[in-house]
Structure 1
């Protein structure tokens, strides 16, 4: 590993999303696969997200054949993998390079257990992720038997963790996920693959958000099926602190690349179309 940025444990902690005031706009997180677009283009795109006031980038180390993702994100991961140069070490070097230039944007790293972490020492990998400058970590498909070790190693490294639960998860599961969230709690709005939305709309999640509040002081972010400004506003109406846009963001990158456009500028237009309007 290269010599990376200052370890997270020595950096002043900063929230991913400010707890929203009643009636205020929610924060915004966007998901992208590292390597789609290629990392040099992604660097310009990330700096643009910071300029535009996006709160969080969920940056995934690409992995194949995710059973929880729909076709848009699966195609994106395959493009990144086929290009090469976006394994965990590459992505950490990318974060170490870009993170010092960000004034507002936070980066939550998403890494799949089997593809990126299984063959590494968990404590060493967590320290490397923190040292790179990642602001938080979400491990995809972490075996339940390793959950306690993950929380312990992340705390030791000073690295906040993103936890997840579904709207239909048992109350005890929701409470545990909320209690362990130190970066933010990702509330999955609909059981299924990414890109699918809850039938009753995101605003109907209000009771679930209220129930989760009893178990955490960390922000609550809602994802799955969020693709427009209206969806973001509906997430805000649920009382959640932030909306997470995944498939729609990845699709915007895909369209720009297929059309031969400047990906960063095309994505800027997408960002401006979904950012919640400020309240008076």
Structure 2
């Protein structure tokens, strides 16, 4: 069963285009806003959208995404609210959606129940930031025939580890541009080309690069090495800038439109 994420990458490959993947935190500043942001980002050209499930102790997140999670948690957002929102979104759009979350959130919710709700609500992918390598096989088999991809996060570590992480993956490979937390960066390691080449040696699954991509220039710099680019913190900064005067949705739409132009150049 081909997932919507796989189909999207195939469609883009047929047009000789790269994927623009955007990230927002579900419930920041409200669930209703998240829904509107999904539609506005799709309109602006996002190909795939990642929805972060807010967590109180986010180890891989930089300060911008931590603040977004805090705003959502202050609104008492829970996973059931997020699943209900996804069901509403699915009545209006088929854009591929992936959750980015921490393993503990799934364990607390219940693995079987979580996977079943992903399938029922129409989610297409799961990116579990801290899923131990040894748990991947069991988790992957639990997702079999659900149409939900288990998307691995892979950092520039040893070749053997990269090989083990990407083996049998689906959707796309989330390639971390550098070790550390999420956030924006002004430059990228020259080793990135070698790292992405190593990933490609062990899998045909599309590679999308994230962590630190904050503007059209960064996209221009990196898009030649991969099949997709991921932008998160920079979008959340636009939300922060516009919350007070209610311009956050239009600010994000305008910014995503600029990012898309860089992808298409």
Q: TM-score, normalised by structure 2?
A: 0.90
**Following TM superposition, by how much is the alpha carbon of 1:198 offset from its aligned partner in structure 2, in angstroms?**
8.1
More deviation, 33-42/150-159:
150-159
Mark the CA change 1:38 to 1:203 in structure 2 (over 3 Å): closer, same or farther.
farther
SS in 1 for 2:97: strand
Deviations 1:196-253 (A, max 9, x none): 5485x26752222222112222210001110011111112122x01111111111111
Structure 1 portions without partners, runs of 5+ = 1-8
Match of 2:139 in 1: 150
Give the distance between the partners of 1:189 and 1:278, measured in 2 at CA: 17
**Following TM superposition, by how much is the alpha carbon of 1:182 offset from its aligned partner in structure 2, in angstroms?**
0.3
Q: Which has the higher helix share?
A: 2
Q: 8 Å contact 1:202–1:231 — kept in the other structure?
A: no
Mark the CA change 1:106 to 1:58 in structure 2 (over 3 Å): closer, same or farther.
same
Q: 8 Å contact 1:190–1:197 — kept in the other structure?
A: no
Mark the CA change 1:203 to 1:47 in structure 2 (over 3 Å): closer, same or farther.
farther
Q: 8 Å contact 2:166–2:202 — kept in the other structure?
A: yes
Give the distance between the partners of 1:141 and 1:25, measured in 2 at CA: 30
Structure 2 portions without partners, runs of 5+ = none
SS in 2 for 1:69: coil
Give the distance between the partners of 2:175 and 2:47, measured in 1 at CA: 17
Give the distance between the partners of 1:75 and 1:241, measured in 2 at CA: 30
**Following TM superposition, by how much is the alpha carbon of 1:174 offset from its aligned partner in structure 2, in angstroms?**
1.0
Deviations 1:122-147 (A, max 9, x none): 23321211211011111232244422
Match of 1:180 in 2: 168
Match of 2:31 in 1: 39
Match of 1:123 in 2: 112
Match of 2:200 in 1: 213
RMSD value, Cα: 2.6
Q: TM-score, normalised by structure 1?
A: 0.85
For the pair 1:190 / 2:190, whether they are aligned, the reply is no
